């Protein structure tokens, strides 16, 4: 899971107005590449969600169900991150970037990257190109792992030679500085932690100047091990387990470390320390599709199936009884929801992505809205059965991900479903 943690002091026209603290978390997994994909390009889908430090009357406000911010992108063979579905995340693109040349401590290189910003949380993202100077500082050890320590410095410059016409029209300029330190795994060439010291100002058309000073930290959080064997056995009692659901079933997850960085060719194995290859931030928590193992025998329930995805085990629930064109569940689903809740309670440390789907009947906006509402309805029903609300991330995909032919009643019925992925 990629985490971007922001702790910034905000100043409005030079006057301190408060501390901006937020945390953006994401689960990103490799997706299938389209037929037209260039050789070496890798495609990813992600679900981002925001946790803000919120207090009311000096008490923490209880967290609720998380809303997914979808993202999809590809990483080219030379490490460039290219957005496909862009809702502002990841906010750092093609960062960090590592030289392909063999280097020694003290060596420097430069690379272009991109940053997406929305300083006032208006919902309008502005993209700014950044030109980063990197330096290889030294070798060290971080959390028991040998690392290369690098620095990265760049200036915030916006509104002079570049304007994002799709961004915030009221943002007229930006200036400032960034100075980051990062630890890069000597074994994999992936960045493990980036800590960025920020001092920048944004100028708006109404004359206001909003400044931020503090730190932005990027790192990968490794979830505790999940008992896949136990989960699959429990799921097999209530659903049909497909072949690939046995993937890694007999292996210990061990909280498996995943890379913070999308494309990395690792480091030199010579006696002289070196960083080589290229990498793009924003893909921490990405998972490669695993190897398929023999099918686990299970009881058959045609209304629920389990399969393996790059993001984790996915339970697909079909034939859910909702009122027509509504997210209100009809009576009769209680037993099935009870069974699902009992299984999910076994994954005590995992998050759950609940994704709603509809048939495609030509009303895309309505289908998207309904699919989100139905995902929330299922999550809320499971919260009522004792699962903490903050463990759920809800997403609606409307009719954009059919699994059957929408031209037949049978196909439409299959496409109307809710999926719950146990994220790893």
pLDDT tens digit sequence for 378-393: 999 999 999 999 999 9
235 shares its domain with 349: yes
3-state secondary structure of 236: helix
211-245 per-residue burial string, b: 16 or more CB within 10 A, e: under 16: bbebebebbbeebeebebeebbbbbbebbbbbebb
What's this model's pTM, rounded to 2 decimal places? 0.79
Chain segment 289-340, per-residue pLDDT in tens: 433 333 433 333 558 999 999 899 999 999 899 998 999 999 999 999 999 9
Residues of the domain holding 151: 2-220
Q: 228, 253 in Cβ contact below 8 A?
A: yes
- Look at residue 263 and tell me if it is in a domain: no
Task: With residue 263 as reference, give the H or E element that holds it.
Answer: none
- pLDDT at residue 277, as a whole number: 40
205 shares its domain with 326: no
Residue 33 above 80 pLDDT? yes
362 shares its domain with 400: yes
Give the C-alpha separation, 3 to 285, whole Å: 9
Sign of CA dihedral 356, 360, 363, 364: positive
Strand partners, 422: 313, 352
Mean pLDDT along residues 28-57: 84
Q: Which two tokens stand for residue 403?
A: 């699994």
Task: With residue 422 as reference, give the H or E element that holds it.
Answer: strand 417-423
Confidence of residue 259 (pLDDT cuts 50, 70, 90): very low
Residue 268 above 50 pLDDT? no
172 shares its domain with 313: no
244 shares its domain with 125: no
Confidence of residue 376 (pLDDT cuts 50, 70, 90): very high
155 shares its domain with 303: no
For residues 31, 34, 37, 39, the Cα torsion angle rounded to the nearest 10 degrees is: 60
116 shares its domain with 177: yes
Percent of the chain past pLDDT 90, that is, above it, reads 71
Give the C-alpha separation, 120 to 201, whole Å: 12
Chain segment 89-141, per-residue pLDDT in tens: 999 999 999 998 999 999 999 999 999 999 999 999 999 999 999 999 999 99
- pLDDT at residue 223, as a whole number: 73
Alpha helices, DSSP H, located in 187-304: 228-236
Residue at a domain's end among 194, 220, 246: 220
Closest listed residue to residue 193, CA positions, set 154, 155, 156, 141: 141
Q: Cα-flanking dihedrals φ and ψ of residue 87, to 5°? A: -115, 25
- pLDDT at residue 261, as a whole number: 43
Q: 309, 316 in Cβ contact below 8 A?
A: no
Which range (67-71, 226-230, 241-245) has the least confidence?
241-245
* Pairing of the two strands 126-142 and 108-117: antiparallel
3-state secondary structure of 110: strand
CATH number where 250 lies = 3.30.1330.60
* Pairing of the two strands 15-31 and 2-12: antiparallel
- pLDDT at residue 243, as a whole number: 61
Which range (40-54, 55-69, 196-210, 339-353) has the least confidence?
55-69
Q: Which two tokens stand for residue 69?
A: 């911010």
Q: Which two tokens stand for residue 389?
A: 């609300």
Which range (220-224, 304-308, 398-402) has the least confidence?
220-224
Give the C-alpha separation, 276 to 296, whole Å: 42
Q: Which two tokens stand for residue 96?
A: 């960090």
Q: Cα-flanking dihedrals φ and ψ of residue 341, to 5°? A: -60, -40
**How many domains, the chain?**
2
- Look at residue 279 and tell me if it is in a domain: no
Q: Which of 74-83, 204-213, 410-419 has the highest mean pLDDT?
A: 204-213
Give the C-alpha separation, 279 to 75, whole Å: 9
- pLDDT at residue 267, as a whole number: 38
- Look at residue 273 and tell me if it is in a domain: no
Strand partners, 25: 3, 49
Mean pLDDT along residues 156-184: 97
204 shares its domain with 324: no
31 shares its domain with 72: yes
Give the C-alpha separation, 145 to 46, whole Å: 27
Confidence of residue 79 (pLDDT cuts 50, 70, 90): confident
> At a CB cut-off of 8 Å and minimum separation 6, what does 6 contact?
20, 21, 22, 23, 24, 214, 215, 216
Count of beta carbons in the 10 Å neighbourhood of residue 109: 17
10 shares its domain with 74: yes
173 shares its domain with 44: yes
Mean pLDDT of the chain: 85
């Amino acid at each position: 899971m990629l985490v971007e943690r922001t702790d910034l002091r905000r100043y409005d026209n030079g006057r301190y107005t408060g501390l901006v603290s937020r945390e953006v978390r994401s689960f990103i997994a490799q997706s299938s590449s389209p037929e037209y994909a260039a050789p070496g390009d890798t495609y990813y889908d992600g679900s981002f969600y925001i946790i803000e430090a919120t207090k009311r009357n000096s008490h923490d406000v209880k967290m609720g169900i998380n809303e997914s911010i979808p993202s999809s992108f590809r990483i080219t063979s030379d490490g460039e991150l290219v957005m496909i579905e862009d809702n502002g995340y990841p906010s750092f693109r093609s960062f960090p970037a590592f030289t392909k040349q063999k280097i020694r401590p003290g060596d420097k290189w430069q690379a272009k990257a991109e940053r997406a910003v929305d300083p006032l949380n208006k919902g309008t993202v502005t993209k700014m190109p950044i030109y980063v100077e990197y330096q290889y500082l030294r070798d060290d050890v971080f959390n028991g792992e040998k690392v290369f320590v690098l620095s990265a410095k760049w200036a915030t410059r916006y509104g002079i030679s570049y304007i994002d016409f799709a961004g915030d029209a009221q943002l007229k300029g930006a200036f400032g500085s960034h100075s980051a330190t990062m630890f890069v795994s000597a074994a994999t060439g992936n960045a493990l932690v980036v800590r960025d010291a920020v001092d920048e100002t944004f100028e708006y058309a109404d004359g206001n100047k909003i400044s931020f000073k503090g730190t932005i930290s990027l790192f990968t959080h490794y979830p505790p091990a999940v008992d896949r064997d136990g989960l699959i056995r429990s799921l097999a009692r209530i659903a049909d387990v497909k072949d690939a659901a046995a993937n890694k079933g007999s292996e210990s997850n061990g909280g498996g470390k995943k890379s913070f960085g999308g494309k990395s060719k690792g480091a030199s194995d010579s006696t002289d320390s070196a960083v080589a290859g290229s990498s793009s931030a924003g893909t921490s928590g990405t998972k490669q599709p695993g190897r398929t193992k023999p099918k686990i025998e299970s009881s058959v329930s045609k209304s629920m199936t389990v399969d393996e995805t790059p993001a984790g085990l996915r339970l697909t629930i079909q034939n859910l009884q909702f009122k027509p064109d509504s997210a209100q569940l009809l009576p009769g689903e209680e037993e099935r929801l009870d069974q699902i809740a009992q299984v999910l309670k076994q994954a005590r440390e995992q998050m759950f992505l609940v994704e709603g789907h509809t048939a495609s009947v030509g009303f895309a906006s309505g289908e998207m809205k309904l699919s989100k509402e139905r995902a929330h309805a299922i999550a809320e029903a499971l919260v009522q059965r004792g699962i903490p609300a903050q463990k759920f991330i809800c997403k609606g995909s409307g009719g954009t991900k059919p699994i059957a032919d929408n031209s037949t009643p049978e196909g439409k019925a299959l496409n109307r479903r809710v999926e719950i992925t146990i994220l790893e």
